[in-house]
Amino acid sequence: MNRPLERGQPCPHGPVSSNSRTRLFAPLSLAFLAATLFASAVEIPSTPQHPVTNVYHGTVVVDDYIWLENFSDPAVKKWNQAQNKFSRAYLDKLPARALVADRLKKLYTASSANYFDLQYRQGTLFAMKFKPPEQQPWLVALKSPDDIATERVVLDPNQLNPKGTTAIDFVVPSLDGRRVAVSLSENGSEDGTLFVYDVETGKPLPDRIPRVQYPTGGGSAVWNADGTGIYYTRYPNPGERPPADLHFYQQVYFHPLGTPVGEDRYEFGRDLPRIAEIELDSSRDGRYVLATVANGDGGEYAVYRHGPDGQWQQITRFQDQVKHGEFGPDDALFLLSCQDAPHGKILRLPASATALADAEVVVPESAAVIKGFCPSASGIFVQDLVGGPSQIRFFNLADRSQRLVPVKPISAVQQLVWTEGDLLLFRNISYVEPFVWMAFDPATGQSRPTALAGTSPADFSDVEVLREFATSKDGTQVPMNIIRRKGTKLNGKNPTLLYGYGGYGISLSPNFSVARRVWLDQGGVYVVANLRGGGEFGEEWHKAGNLTKKQNVFDDFIACAEWLTRNGYTRPKQFATEGASNGGLLMGAALTQRPDLFRAVVSHVGIYDSLRTELEPNGAFNVTEFGTVKDPEQFRALYAYSPYHRIRDGTRYPAVLLLTGDNDGRVNPFHSRKMAARLQAANRSKHPIFLRTTSAAGHGFGTALDVRIAEEADVFAFLFDQLGMKYKTSSQPDQDATQ
């Protein structure tokens, strides 16, 4: 499950803003002087080479750094500490670093509260809330989205653990809203245990269910109809399977409240694949439970339904291309299908029906790509993607009419929540405006803002968003969203940061981040590329960038970079790229295939050794997205682009900052260790290669605010230094870029 660090927010920099007007800056000459002094005074840590030879389908592959995969080896820990010391010696002496960190902290604190992951239960709205300077989001309950005065705290992990290292993985309120099941994990590990809390008092019940959540297959839970028990996903307990399988073979169990967890009843899953990922849901009356089972991360799903008879029935198979299911108010099952409809269509299966053949099409395929949907009393709300930005359509099931729901222009719809009747709440956000939860009633046809709305202490009125297209190697038109200040001069001298992902059918839709103000204030241009491998144009767009076609993603990204230089936005010495997770793989491919295009590369928690990824627990889930070395054709594709194996001795590489966390259960940190060692040995440019690790984080989810700020300050300072940007806290536009 290598997902972006934060769903709906591709840039890892969190919400910050610009309110400081003091003209403090690090002159360009000092930045270059600092880099020069560093290069002459600090030596790169030495890395021994211990060659290991593997043969894949007749191809001999020699790996000098397999020994760095074993983090339990004291020599690896010592090497890792030396690398961190090397990186800190550079980062801590950058003139901008302390100023940026101070600014980020102040601007985070000035940001408004963020409300997300809303759930409705019988007149009560449950929401996750985050407001710096708190370290972690917490759970609140409200009676109305229009009256924040009704808000009360249900569970605050900042109170459970003042260190800020305890995080909420997921929350499931009971159907009557009286209790809530919460998965909690530590230090960004996503290794969650399920607890139960009373909503009225906030006090915990004695129930404690371990092994519910892990980064490999995720985790899920759902209540029964009367709130006396919980269906939940569970990984094998030690002794039930070999140690190598303890984070696989996810199954569903049922826990009656107040009983020993060892007596929980097995429900479902013994016959599922080793890499199954189960998501649970229920009908609003609790009579039916839905299990949507992913076959790893490649986009194949099977749907199972549990009914009043207590039996589980398989409704769809992996090959049926059904992606998602939800119950309507009459317990009918609505299904998103891509069968003969790569942009998606929605089917309705009556509660009495048991076969997919009995389903009828209620929303046919169109030019828009269906991202999600939400049934209501008389119709269905459909969340569409139009190449990246969103739209919402409402379909009346009685007369089959449809209408568009008003949303912000060039914006993203991040969640749909049905409350009562045909009333809808949806979270709307754009590149230049923070989130707002909107309310829509088909009876009026109007969308209106609720009290759950963000405010930004940073002013983006001087910023514009342009949508441009680059032509990829095979002629495919690839969209880019260019975020720049109005009046930016296309003279080839703008520091430019290009972000990409391109995988798992995940779409990089518009999102708001006040941290971009920090970049824009230094004369920077920020660009988000909608690459193949994502879902911006449907399942065909995804399939054109996975398995043996993964190189298309890298070609798309390179085409976007070439377009930006060719059209006067920037030049290689002022060009940087950034990506995370699967986007880290993209960064590795871009810097090894076209090191001449970029001056600096920032890569978070990336995948770099494509031949050994599947040996890790989470790597096995990625086989359906990337392929396996066991298949000759897929091996050839993997080996052809694997960043670690494409590094060439004597090459002049750009400056690289590799970031990872010790507790990452999605992408093993050994990828970053090996990539850093190999790049340092091969690089013949004067640009530095850094590895930055932290013991207080994992893949990015659940990371404490202070840890995030420290990371963001390092990234900004690194980019400012490497691109020759003088840092100033004033938001006055850079004269060279706008005149």
CA-closest candidate to residue 583, choices 501, 655, 643, 523: 501
Neighbour tally for 645: CB within 10 Å: 19
- Out of 447, 581, 603, 731, pick the active-site residue: 581
**DSSP 8-state symbol, 354:** -
Kindly give, in sequence order, each residue whose CB lies less than 8 Å from that of residue 29, ignoring residues fewer than 6 positions away: none
User: Of these residues, 324, 411, 699, 731, which one is catalytic?
Assistant: 699
Q: To the nearest 10°, report the CA torsion of 232, 236, 239, 241.
A: 150
CA neighbor of 687 nearest in space, from 38, 15, 23 = 38
Half-sphere exposure of 240 (CA within 13 A, CB side): 15
Strand 166-173 and strand 312-316: the pairing is unpaired
710: Cα within 13 Å, side-chain hemisphere = 15
Q: For helices 28-41 and 705-722, what crossing angle results, to 10°?
A: 100
In whole angstroms, give the CA distance from residue 26 to residue 23: 10
Contact 655, 712 (CB under 8 A): no
Distance CA 728, CA 21 (A): 9
| Count of CB atoms situated within 10 Å of the CB of 433 | 17
Q: What's the token pair of residue 250?
A: 């996810």
Angstrom distance (rounded) from CA 104 to CA 334 = 44
Distance in angstroms (rounded) separating the CA atoms of residues 520 and 499: 15
Tokens linked to 736 = 């060279």
For 589, the token pair is 């491919």
- 456: Cβ–Cβ under 8 A, 6 or more apart, which residues? 15, 17, 111, 112, 433, 434, 512, 514
Q: Of how many residues is the chain composed?
A: 739
Question: Catalytic site residue 174?
Answer: no
Q: Is 581 a catalytic residue?
A: yes
Tokens found for residue 667: 């992408």
How far is the C-alpha of 607 from the C-alpha of 301, rounded, in Å?
Answer: 24
Judge residue 561's burial from the number of C-beta atoms within 10 Å of its C-beta, 0-12 exposed, 13-18 middle, 19 or more buried. Answer: buried
How far is residue 377 CA from its own chain's centroid?
32
**CA neighbor of 182 nearest in space, from 163, 157, 201, 158:** 157
In 486-614, at which residue ranges do the beta strands (DSSP E only) sit? Answer: 496-499, 525-529, 575-580, 600-604
The residues, ordered by sequence, that sit 6+ positions from 732 with a Cβ below 8 Å of its Cβ are none
Catalytically annotated residues: 581, 699
